[in-house]
Amino acid sequence: MSLTKAILSEADRTFTARFEKHYDELKWLYCELYQDVPDPMEHLVSLVSGMHAYYNERKPSLKESDLRREADPDWYKRNDLYGMMLYVNCFSETLKGLEEKLDYISECNVNYLHLMPLLASPKGRSDGGYAVADFRQVQPDLGTMDDFSRVADKCHERGINIALDFVMNHTSEDHEWAKRARAGEREYQDRYFFFDTFDIPAMYEKTCPQVFPTTAPGNFTWLEDCRKHVMTTFYPYQWDLNYRNPEVLNEMVFNMLYLANRGVDIIRLDAVPYIWKQLGTNCRNLPQVHTIVRMMRIICEIVCPGVLMLGEVVMAPDKVAPYFGTPEKPECHMLYNVTTMASTWNTVATRDAGLLKRQLDILASLPRTYIFQNYLRCHDDIGWGLDYDYLSAFGIEEGAHKKYLNDYLTGKWPDSFSRGELYNDDPRLRDARLCGTTASLVGVERFGFEGNRAGVDRGVTYDITLHAFMMSQSGIPVLYSGDEIGMLNDYSYKKDPDKAADSRYLHRGDFRWDLAERRNEEGTVQYRLFHALDKLAHIRAAHSVFEAEVPFRTLDTWDQSTLALVRENDEEKFIGIYNFSEFDRVAWINEEDGIYTDLISGREMEARGVQIPAFGCYWLLRKK
């Protein structure tokens, strides 16, 4: 009996229809990828059999969600998704604690909850949870996988979607595969990159860049106990998986489907550009990576089509967009808008919106089907992957500019209001990345410490403006937990030996529930921020002009510190205007089509020569 007939003889109509629609392409891609492997069809049979098994295990409520989303494939492209990312241990200590805090999540208008890495990982060697020792177990101090499934069910009852990281590139050295590889089992060594001598690793090192040249130099680690070198692109305790081995792909797909069946709605593909290694290349963004991502998309569309794939591609825009695939052969549903995030903070430090405008113009030229996840801050650092070819035309040199940005945003520059810290500082290359909470980076920390109420007010105004800008971009806005109450940097990480060497814990502090209690106390920073973001979220959800596929464009303001963004459909025209200066400015736009209403203040005005206060913003709307 053929593979197709063997599977379909036991499958229901739904699985059969999806399988028949996608199987030919899946087979072609799989056999092409593994053409050098003896009998790739044997491995494909194992993959498809597993897919069918996970489909059968998927509970009825998730299958019903799959059917609804299949019938409405644009469900995530509208204006009603609003996200938040958080660490469970910091926010609620445990998964059961998170279940008790869902009222607060709903009060924040959040219906897309990204739970930061929570799968089993070794204490002190976890890279914030990105060194996974078991893809099917939760960190014991957070609870169990049953607890996770129960939280997911409770979230689904409230209309909240759950996102979870899926670490594709590597495992922890404590993973069962790694332990068996280290013990000398060849089958498991073949799931990683093991070498007896440094001859081949030396060839990789010639062309493969280092991710952390300061804190984790090189791409290989010597294992003294088994006398072998193993590939470790990130940290020595994170061993790169060898996707040239079909067993690795199959088993990782099964891990992904297992998580989907536990209730995950959005699978965040961590470090996906790195997963295919090839000598003589930089081991980034290779064609085989796109083949694998496309196969994962196909597999999800067969087994769990209600699940979205979010690609973490923290690279230049020309490297990011290909991960959407094509309309005929889509890959990721969503990608991070990392360059706009970095360009935003560049604008904060320079008061010059030119680079940010250019970045938005690039995004505006992309197909409207491309959906980005937008954010001001995330769990990681801010890397300065800016368009230096563009900046060089203005006499701006990369190294000197990065130093200025870091000096300004860490408070070293005269009269800077920012209070961040550097991560992976490399004085030799004049390069570093930046850490800090939004409130600390816009002056709330500095001026609060100084007792400068006017400065704090100005910082809060800027905080609101930056979030308004983020929420008016095309795509899905995601808030970093704590921003809604103005949480400041948490310097206590320096006293924890497991965290002290990683300044990213500066903005990964415990959630300040004492501050959250003040969110309804008028006159507090927490009140101003919480209710301002609440208002923006409701405005966004109420107007179709904020849907992700609505075209947008920028306007020339003839003022370097202001930015104007237009979104327009058949019903409404929206103009967002943002002032990145500490001085009142005029946005010299000239939209001669009547009176607009500022959705934030209710004030009516023309969209011509708009006077905008220091660090302020307007959300102007005109009905058609």
Tell me if 164 sits within 8 A of 256, measured CB to CB: no
Across-strand partners of 212? 216
What helix, strand, coil percent values describe the chain, rounded to 5?
A: 40, 20, 40
Q: What 3-state class would DSSP assign to 620?
A: strand
- The DSSP secondary-structure symbol of 325 reads B
Token digits for 611? 């006077």
Rounded Cα distance between 554 and 591, Å, is 12
Instruction: Determine whether 312 is an active site residue.
Output: yes
Rounded Cα distance between 141 and 19, Å, is 40
Q: In angstroms, how far is CA 388 from the centroid of its own chain?
A: 23
Q: What 3-state class would DSSP assign to 328?
A: coil
Across-strand partners of 585? 612
Tell me if 95 sits within 8 A of 148, measured CB to CB: yes
- Residues sharing a CB contact under 8 Å with residue 284, sequence separation 6 or more, in sequence order: 209, 273, 274, 315, 319
List 301, 312, 381, 421, catalytic entry: 312
Of 333, 336, 315, the residue nearest 325 (C-alpha) = 333
Instruction: Determine whether 165 is an active site residue.
Output: no
How many other CB atoms sit within 10 Å of the CB of residue 404? 16
Rounded Cα distance between 68 and 287, Å, is 33
Cα atoms in the 13 Å half-sphere on the side-chain side of 324: 18
Cα atoms in the 13 Å half-sphere on the side-chain side of 283: 28
- Residues sharing a CB contact under 8 Å with residue 340, sequence separation 6 or more, in sequence order: 356, 359, 360, 363, 372, 374, 473
List 270, 381, 431, 559, catalytic entry: 270
Would you name the residues annotated as active-site residues? 270, 312
